[in-house]
Amino acid sequence: MSHNIYMGVKELHREYLEYLEIERGRSLKTVENYDRYLKKFFEFAKISSTSGIDDDLVRRYRLFLNRGGLKKRTQNYHLIALRNFLKYLAWRGIESLSSDRILLAKAPERDLDLITIEELERLLKAPDLEDGLPSGSPSSLKRLRDRAILELLFSTGLRVSELTSLDQDSVDLSKDEFSVRGKGEKVRVVFLSLSAKKAIKEYLDKRQDMAEAMFVNYGINSNEPSRLTPRSVERILKYYAIKAGISKKVTPHVLRHMFATDLLINGADLRSVQALLGHSSISTTQVYTHVTDKSLREIHKAFHGKRRK
């Protein structure tokens, strides 16, 4: 057994966060979340050594989380952070509870926020309804930008943070694909539909500013437009959803869901969709199978057993 067993809990906590950031390449946001979840555990546990983590402590912690009014899914985030910390301790040869002793709470199936295909069509066409705008005016440029954003989100399934970090030279319009750096610095290839390519080309052809960002804010008095933020993109989608008469909440993530379900319903396999979405685990992608299961039910109802009387 290494001398590490004598290291304090605080020190191991800090070293684990550094390991996540440096060795595992996790985003700062993820590291912050792990920090918060583990702090909560250690505040509850009041232990000085990791050898004090045992079944009884974990059982009491689960009760504490459950009685704290947290949703099952949120309770699981806390437990996953603890489980991964225990895996790290085992990897370093430090005495503690085995990570497989941490069982997760049974969370309800996740409901996907989806809109119908008709609603999607209306949403994608909504910027074209901004009629009567003189060509070349900031408003007309804004409309072209917004149409390019909507088409690109649906064509690629990009996360909103990936979309806003694109530069003009990130996308080569002579090709149908480009690389994007996603969560955990993972690079993946995404593909452009004809309509997305056309919308981006029309937007970039009209641009006259020198900003390197692909999508920029057209403020009233800014000389050099600034890069759009994820929050701004969310507002843009909300605006067009209302314009398209969609009562459900429409976010960039809803278009990512629509991208994935569209592929699966049309016959794509789960592994391919996992790669296109940039999910590190297939279990994250499996949430979409419930949607396709529903569509299969409709297909079964429509086509099965028709000749039987």
Helix (H) or strand (E) holding 89: helix 72-91
Please state whether beta strands 177-181 and 187-191 pair in parallel, antiparallel, or not at all (unpaired): antiparallel
**253 catalytic residue (yes or no):** yes
- CA dist list (Å): 210 to 117, 167, 207, 221: 37, 11, 8, 16
Burial class for 112, CB neighbours closer than 10 Å (0-12, 13-18, 19+): middle
Amino acid at 163: L
C-alpha 174/C-alpha 275 separation (Å) is 23
**279 catalytic residue (yes or no):** yes
Nearest to 160 by CA among 272, 235, 260: 235
* Beta-bridge partners for 227: 216
**Tokens representing 266?**
């049309």
**Tokens representing 254?**
């809803």
Q: How many residues does the chain have?
A: 309
**Tokens representing 149?**
């954003």
**239 catalytic residue (yes or no):** no
- Residue pair 104/76 in contact (Cβ under 8 Å)? The answer is yes
Indicate which residue of 122, 142, 159, 257 is catalytic.
159
- Residue pair 280/184 in contact (Cβ under 8 Å)? The answer is yes
**159 catalytic residue (yes or no):** yes
Indicate which residue of 101, 183, 198, 207 is catalytic.
183
- CA dist list (Å): 61 to 65, 108, 130, 160, 208: 6, 21, 54, 35, 58
**Tokens representing 179?**
């690389």
**288 catalytic residue (yes or no):** yes
The residue with tokens 């600034």 is 226
What lies within 8 Å, CB to CB, of 59 at 6+ separation is none
The catalytic residues are: 159, 183, 253, 256, 279, 288
